[in-house]
């Protein structure tokens, strides 16, 4: 660190990192063990001996630096840089440089700032721009690999070794680069009782390592993962804190209130899908969008069916006939058939965007207080907007999935039954496999059974008491606290009226690498509630 005349301050940091991983294995197997508890291969008498092995090695290295400058704690500047290398990439793509810069201006330290500290005591503007690299891929992904195995045929008394053609490798493989621009504002006011921090950002992710584009069946093999996509993410986040103290019943009462909220949305800006088929990612796609059909209700009669567009392309039964109680899909393109057209953007027939599976407007707020040794703190967390359509294997469907499945209790009075005349029931008439068969009426996404997965959860709650100093002084202790604490004690979600045993926080996992995949559907391990009693004692 260097301090120069006039209030100029510099700090400099430089370093180097290196990491290497070597993995090897050797497995030997022989049949005909002498007795069941044998744990050594020499105690087996069989003539069939199998050995396998494996080896992989990779290394990463990098140099980095950071330079900080500030002028009288008024103007702040930080410059960073990383030069990273990885053996997981081809030799001409192993090294990449990732710079970043951030600046801050403490407006409240300027000579022209004459606002009373009782009103605003600190205000700072921030901005940053920088990039980072992601090289988290499998080693040898750019190499053609031959698997050597033993043939199942015996030739001249032996089983010869065989190999087969290697899988296709990506044409090029390089670092995934994420570049983020950010602006922010920090301030505190009212003698420090109120503080605020807010940020807005735009992130451009280039050369994303993800699954390859869809190819014709005649391609003959699996498309390799590679740098096939670009993604643009826009978001913001804010935090607000209020803390104060006053006298309550002759005792000091201190409290603190905290609130945070964030939102982001991502758009695919490049993907090798020129026709924009909805079965794949495409340029202009909002990540998480759910394409499906609109539903007008349930068919009430044979005349209702006869006077509606044909629904044969989304069958309820193998005969593709409709009956009262079946789903009535809405005709959006004006023809006489409910269908998806070419299943492309601009030619999707009656399919349209009905929701989005990404979580939006995530938030949290906490409360804490202390009065005469009694203290309490709690924190709530949740999501304000998220859509979820149950998959074919979701427990949500019960016997609509398979007729031998368990019968969810909530379905009993919400199912169409013509003899009862409940034409406005939530669920259609009971037909097995209608949620399981590909392309059937409940397997395809529709807005009638699209679930609102927003939720709020009490993450933590703690109540306790700190014994007075005069009492614990007798045992020469500095403080003694007893408390009761709970985690995940309460959750509410509008989805719970249909699926009370589903943990809404685990419906969708992180999918920012565009790798696909979901979780949840009622089969994930539920969030556990816990209650504990504790005591802390310090001397």
Q: Note the pLDDT of residue 508.
A: 42
- Measured between alpha carbons, how far is 41 from 166 in angstroms, rounded to an integer? 34
Tally DSSP H helices, then E strands, for the chain: 2, 23
Domain extent listing, the chain: 1-26+54-138, 193-222+230-271+357-388+450-539, 288-349+390-445
Whole-number Cα distances in Å, 175 to 98, 136, 223, 226: 11, 9, 19, 10
Asked if 445 and 437 touch (Cβ cutoff 8 Å), the reply is no
Q: How far is CA 126 from the centre of its chain?
A: 28
Tokens 């407006």 belong to residue: 107
Q: Note the pLDDT of residue 216.
A: 80
Asked if 394 and 521 touch (Cβ cutoff 8 Å), the reply is yes
- Of 316, 302, 283, 303, the residue nearest 429 (C-alpha): 316
Backbone angles phi, psi at 509, to 5 degrees: -90, 180
Q: Per 3-state DSSP, what percentage of the chain is helix, strand, and coil (rounded to 5)?
A: 10, 50, 45
Task: Report the residue count for the chain.
Answer: 539
335: DSSP letter: S
Q: Note the pLDDT of residue 105.
A: 94
- Measured between alpha carbons, how far is 514 from 208 in angstroms, rounded to an integer? 8
CA end-to-end span of the chain: 38
- Of 139, 141, 281, 133, the residue nearest 224 (C-alpha): 141
Asked if 488 and 526 touch (Cβ cutoff 8 Å), the reply is no
The count of other CB atoms within 10 Å of the CB of residue 469 is 12
- Measured between alpha carbons, how far is 109 from 128 in angstroms, rounded to an integer? 21
Q: Note the pLDDT of residue 111.
A: 86
Written as six digits, the tokens of 284 are 């202009």
Backbone angles phi, psi at 305, to 5 degrees: -65, -45
Whole-number Cα distances in Å, 354 to 424, 444, 515: 21, 12, 22
- Measured between alpha carbons, how far is 85 from 89 in angstroms, rounded to an integer? 9
pTM: 0.83
Q: Note the pLDDT of residue 509.
A: 39
For residues 35-73, one letter each, b for 16 or more C-beta atoms within 10 angstroms of the residue's C-beta and e for the rest, the string is: eeeeeeeeebeeeeeeeeeeeeebebbbeeeeebbbeee
- Measured between alpha carbons, how far is 465 from 458 in angstroms, rounded to an integer? 21
- CA torsion sign, 116 to 118 to 121 to 123? negative
Q: Note the pLDDT of residue 525.
A: 65
3-state SS string over 199-224? EEEEEEEEEEEECCCCCCHHHCCCCC
Q: Note the pLDDT of residue 231.
A: 95
Tokens 């700190």 belong to residue: 466
Asked if 67 and 100 touch (Cβ cutoff 8 Å), the reply is no
- Of 139, 243, 138, the residue nearest 189 (C-alpha): 243
- Measured between alpha carbons, how far is 64 from 531 in angstroms, rounded to an integer? 45
Dihedral, CA of residue 307, residue 313, residue 316 and residue 321, to nearest 10: 50
- Measured between alpha carbons, how far is 527 from 301 in angstroms, rounded to an integer? 44
Residue 225 falls in which region: left (phi positive, over 0), alpha (psi -120 to 50) or beta: beta
Whole-number Cα distances in Å, 361 to 203, 384, 509: 18, 5, 16
- Measured between alpha carbons, how far is 113 from 392 in angstroms, rounded to an integer? 63
* Per-residue pLDDT in tens (0 to 9) along the chain, 539 residues: 666 667 889 999 999 999 999 999 988 888 888 877 777 888 888 777 777 888 899 999 999 999 999 988 899 999 999 999 999 999 889 999 999 999 999 998 888 888 888 888 889 999 999 999 999 888 888 888 887 777 778 888 787 888 877 888 887 789 999 999 999 999 999 888 999 999 999 999 999 988 887 778 788 788 888 898 999 999 999 999 999 998 888 788 999 999 999 999 999 999 988 899 998 899 999 999 999 999 999 999 999 999 999 999 999 887 788 999 999 999 999 888 999 999 999 999 999 999 999 999 999 999 999 998 899 999 999 999 999 898 888 888 889 988 888 888 888 889 998 888 788 899 999 998 999 888 999 999 999 999 998 989 999 999 999 888 777 777 777 888 899 999 999 888 888 666 554 455 455 433 344 444 444 566 666 678 899 999 888 88
Q: Note the pLDDT of residue 504.
A: 52
Name the strand (E) or helix (H) holding 306.
helix 302-306
- Measured between alpha carbons, how far is 44 from 267 in angstroms, rounded to an integer? 60
Written as six digits, the tokens of 221 are 């093999």
HSE-CB of 118 using CA atoms within 13 angstroms? 0
Tokens 């994303």 belong to residue: 208
């Amino acid at each position: 660190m260097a301090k120069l005349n006039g209030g100029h301050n510099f700090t400099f940091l430089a370093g180097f990192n290196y990491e290497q991983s070597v993995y090897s294995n050797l497995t030997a197997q022989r049949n005909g063990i002498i007795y069941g508890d044998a744990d050594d291969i020499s105690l087996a008498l069989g003539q069939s001996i199998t050995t396998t092995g494996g080896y992989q090695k990779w290394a990463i290295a990098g140099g980095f630096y950071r330079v900080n400058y500030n002028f009288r704690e008024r103007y702040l500047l930080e410059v960073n840089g990383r030069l990273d290398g990885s053996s997981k990439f081809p030799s001409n793509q192993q090294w990449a440089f990732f710079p970043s810069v951030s600046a801050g201006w403490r407006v409240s330290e300027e000579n022209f700032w004459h606002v009373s500290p009782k009103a605003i005591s600190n205000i700072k503007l921030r901005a940053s721009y920088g990039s980072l690299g992601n090289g988290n891929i499998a080693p040898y992904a750019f190499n053609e690999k031959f698997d050597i195995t033993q043939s199942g045929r015996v030739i001249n008394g032996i089983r010869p070794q065989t190999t087969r053609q290697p899988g296709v490798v990506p044409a090029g493989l390089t670092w995934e680069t994420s570049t983020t621009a950010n602006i922010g504002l920090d301030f505190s006011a009212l003698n420090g009782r109120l503080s605020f921090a807010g940020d807005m950002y735009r992130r451009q992710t280039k050369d994303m390592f993800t699954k390859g584009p869809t190819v014709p069946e005649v391609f003959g093999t699996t498309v390799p993962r590679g740098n096939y996509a670009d993604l643009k993410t826009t978001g913001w986040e804010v935090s607000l804190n209020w803390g104060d103290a006053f006298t309550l019943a002759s005792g000091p009462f201190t409290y603190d209130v905290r609130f945070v909220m964030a939102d982001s949305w991502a758009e695919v800006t490049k993907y090798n899908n020129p026709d924009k088929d909805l079965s794949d990612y495409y340029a202009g796609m909002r990540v998480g969008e759910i394409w499906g059909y609109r539903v007008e209700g349930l068919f009430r009669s044979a005349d209702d069916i006869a006077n509606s567009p044909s629904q044969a392309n989304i069958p309820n039964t193998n005969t593709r006939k409709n009956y009262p109680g079946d789903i009535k899909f809405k005709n959006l393109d004006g023809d006489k058939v409910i269908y998806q057209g070419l299943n492309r953007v601009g030619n999707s027939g009656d399919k349209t965007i009905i929701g989005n599976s990404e979580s939006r407007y995530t938030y949290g707020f906490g409360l804490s207080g202390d009065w005469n040794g009694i203290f309490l703190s709690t924190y709530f967390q949740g999501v304000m907007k998220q859509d979820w359509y149950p998959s074919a294997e979701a427990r949500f469907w019960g016997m609509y999935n398979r007729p031998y499945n368990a019968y969810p209790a909530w379905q009993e009075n919400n199912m169409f039954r013509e003899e009862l005349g409940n034409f406005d029931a939530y669920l259609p008439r009971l037909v097995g496999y209608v949620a399981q068969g590909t392309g059937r009426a409940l397997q395809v996404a529709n807005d009638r059974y699209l679930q609102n997965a927003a939720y709020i959860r009490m993450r933590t709650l703690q109540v306790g008491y700190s014994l007075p100093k005069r009492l614990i002084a007798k045992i020469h202790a500095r403080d003694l606290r007893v408390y009761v604490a709970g985690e995940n004690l309460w959750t509410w979600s509008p989805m719970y009226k249909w699926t009370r045993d589903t943990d809404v926080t685990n419906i969708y996992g992180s999918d920012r690498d565009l790798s696909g995949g979901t979780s949840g559907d009622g089969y994930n391990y539920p969030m556990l509630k816990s209650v504990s009693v504790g005591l802390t004692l310090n001397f």
